Structure 1
Amino acid sequence: MRRNLFSLSCLLLLCTVALWGQNPAERIHKAFNEPAEKSILVVSHRADWRNAPENSLQAIQNCIDMGVDMVEIDLKRTKDGHLILMHDKTIDRTTTGKGKPEDYTLEELRQFRMRNGAGHKTRHLIPTFEEVMKLCKGKIMVNVDKGYDYFKEAYVILEKTGTVHQCIMKAGLPYDQVKAENGEVLDKMIFMPVIDLHKEGAEAVVDGYLEHMKPQAFELVFDNDGPEVQRLIKKVRDSGAKIFINSLWPELCGGHDDDLAVELKQPGESWGWIIGQGAKLIQTDRPALLLEYLKAKKLHD
């Protein structure tokens, strides 16, 4: 009897060690590979931009603290070759500076301060991609939106920081072009095609990826929820690929957006509809509220 109890205790201890040995990013990556009906991942657009400057370290830390699964960021390159986080072609809107980021060295950009969502100056500095990945390491996944132009450079940083499997690179381009431009790193990290389902030729782009690459996930964009759009969503879902849908504004998700869920108090018609399409990842501007909704549905820890 004592031997059995001792064996059981050892087994429980080993299970506990194994569980705690997984860092949050590993658990998120594991969940990423699970069926959508088991769990949904929350992607926060430009990190927590409502409460900190967009694409800032603080906005990303807020998402980590919140329990978000993935942050969406954007990249630009400085005059001296550093990758930094910046959405716009200029630094005018989001910092106290003016002009294009590529016209400044990193040291020069550090003289400016980031602005918050209301346009006011903060204490925050423009972060580098390397700083971001060091912050995110072991904690949260990262989705690079505007950054395809720096695919190879980004990969070097991911290798350096040991975060290759925490990052998703994406582009709204056909497979042949992506393969020709970035074939040497394409198979070394997660790449997600972005497909505008409502545009002519969308199915051919989907077919090209399914034939040659079989991506782990597709980001699907659609300005209506008609039969043809739903047919293509089903086609991607049936291929086994994960589906990433934006609920940021109506034109991205056929009208099933965040404001429908939050302001009009119809989350079932918004996030619920998106989940019903088989989405595994939902990108939102309302991460805390989406997390609350998913937890109530037992679709998130």
Structure 2
Amino acid sequence: MKLKLTVLALLLAAGQTFAQNKVMVTAHRGDWRNAPENSLRAFELATAMGVDIVELDLNITKDGILVIMHDQTIDRTTNGKGKPADYTLEEIKKFGLRNGLGRVTRNTIPTFKEVMLALKGKPVMVNLDKSYPYYREAYAVLKETGTLKQAIFKAEVTYPILKERYTTLIDSITYMPVVNMDKPDARAVINDYLQHMKPWAFELNFKTDTSSILKDNKFIRKTGARVWLNSLWASLNAGHDDDLAVEEGNKNDSWDWLLAHGATVLQTDRPRELILYLESLHLRKKPLQK
């Protein structure tokens, strides 16, 4: 009880006005601890767990099919070598995805279409990382599968650059700007988006945690946009990360800190643990599925 009161005190001190069931959880590359990263199974397991969002990475084959692959090559995550663009879909499907121990499994590289059809109609959104070069192709798949409302497009570009490249498309998609808090123009980038769009959220990344926007981002939240913070790699959150919370048991300087600094969406490599913790604080949108 003392810990819960401490967390709530932090939230109130930071000007947070969380209603019950407020914070959304995003599973980074799906449930990769129990299935190969970016595999169809990893996304299905994370969805069954009860996460609100799964994150995936888009790439493209030689014959123009969108597939899910984080790296520019398939070397690390499969028993193949080279770029996805070196292979047709039929050829790339012959490789097996590796699990966390490096063992080759029977899971193959999924197509974007396969993932969206598998998650269609389920209470989960899909965050499209590394998608900026492929917005038009992704949009076509989403329209074909009837899943456009489940997808979140994102990019670390300014509004003028986005508008120039995707002039007509941006009015038809759910969009989240990615903003580097360490850059001096971060506030200007955010304000420009708020002036011209209604972003679903802002993903705020930072190696140092001194930005005034982190101390007070109510100007974002009052527009209805969410504040997306990452609790995975320390390089995205100045060390307020999952491992600190789970391996060292220090939630005060990790998850609690991120909540106190405005997070209404947390992307994590520890979705099960984070969901349980948020449930204990009555800050979950939906309960963990057993």
Aligned ranges for residues 255-294 of structure 1 at < 5 Å? 255-294=239-278
How far apart are 1:264 and its partner, in Å? Answer: 1.2
Q: 3-state SS of the aligned residue for 2:172?
A: coil
CA distance in 1, matches of 2:82, 2:56: 20
CA distance in 2, matches of 1:118, 1:199: 37
- One-letter amino acid matched to 1:214: K
Tell me which of 174, 177, 182 is aligned to 2:158.
174
Residue pair 1:56, 1:125 contacting (<8 A) in 2 also? yes
CA distance in 2: counterparts of 1:227 and 1:107, whole angstroms: 47
Q: With the length of structure 2 as denominator, give the TM-score of the two structures.
A: 0.88
Deviation at 1:240, TM superposition (A): 3.4
1:37 match: 19
Amino acid at match of 1:70: I
CA apart distance, 1:61: 1.0
Q: Match for residue 143 of structure 1?
A: 127
Match of 2:6 in 1: none
Query: Contact 1:195 / 1:220 at 8 angstroms: preserved in 2?
Result: yes
Higher relative contact order (CA 8 A, sep 6+): 2
Q: 1:233 aligns with which of 209, 217, 235?
A: 217
4+ residue segments displaced more than 4 Å? none
The amino acid across from 2:19 in the alignment is: E
For this pair of structures, how many residues does the alignment match?
Answer: 267
CA shift digits 1:199-222 (9 cap, x unpaired): 122122112111111312100011
2:64 matched to 1:81? yes
Residue type of the alignment partner of 1:197: M
State the alpha-carbon separation in 1 of the partners of residues 51 and 191 from structure 2: 32
Whole-angstrom distance in 2 between the partners of 1:227 and 1:199: 9
1:37 alignment partner AA: A
Residue type matched to 1:184 in 2?
T
Structure number with the higher helix fraction is 1
Give the C-alpha shift of residue 233 in structure 1.
3.4
Structure 2 residue aligned with 1:194: 178
Q: Which amino acid letter does the alignment assign opposite residue 218 of structure 1? A: F
1:100 maps to: 83
Supply the distance in 1 between the matched residues of 2:211 and 2:64 (Cα, whole angstroms). 46
Q: Which moved more, 1:288-297 or 1:201-210?
A: 201-210
Segments of structure 2 that go 5 or more residues without pairing to the other structure are: 1-16
Any conservation in 1 of the 2:56–2:68 contact (CA below 8 Å)? yes
Please report how far the alpha carbon of residue 236 of structure 1 lies from its aligned counterpart in structure 2 after TM superposition: 2.6
What SS is found at the alignment partner of 1:269?
coil
Q: Which residue of 2 aligns with 1:203?
A: 187
1:242 partnered with 2:218: no
In structure 2, the CA distance between the partners of 1:92 and 1:215, relative to structure 1 (3 Å rule), is same
Aligned to 1:112: 95
What SS does the aligned partner of 1:295 have?
Answer: helix
Conservation of the 8 A alpha-carbon contact between 1:220 and 1:233: no
In 1, the alpha carbon distance for the partners of 2:40 and 2:224 equals 34
Q: Any conservation in 1 of the 2:181–2:211 contact (CA below 8 Å)?
A: no
For residue 57 of structure 1, the aligned residue among 31, 40, 55 is 40
Contact 1:78 1:101 in 2 (8 A): yes
The amino acid across from 2:232 in the alignment is L
What residue identity is the alignment partner of 1:174?
Answer: T
Q: 1:15-46: CA deviations, max 9, x gaps?
A: xxxxxxxxxxxxxxxxxxxx853311110001
Match of 1:253 in 2: 237
Q: Deviations over 1:121-143 (max 9, x none)?
A: 00001100000000111112100
TM-score w.r.t. length of structure 1: 0.85
Please give the per-residue CA displacement for 1:111-130, whole angstroms capped at 9, x wherever unaligned.
11111122110000110000
Distance 1:227 1:102 in 2: 39
User: Highest Rg: 1 or 2?
Assistant: 1
Question: Relative to structure 1, is the Cα distance of residues 36 and 88 closer, same or farther in structure 2, using a 3 angstrom cutoff?
Answer: farther
Please report how far the alpha carbon of residue 177 of structure 1 lies from its aligned counterpart in structure 2 after TM superposition: 0.7
- SS in structure 2 at match of 1:183: coil
Q: Distance in 1 between matches of 2:218 and 2:208?
A: 15
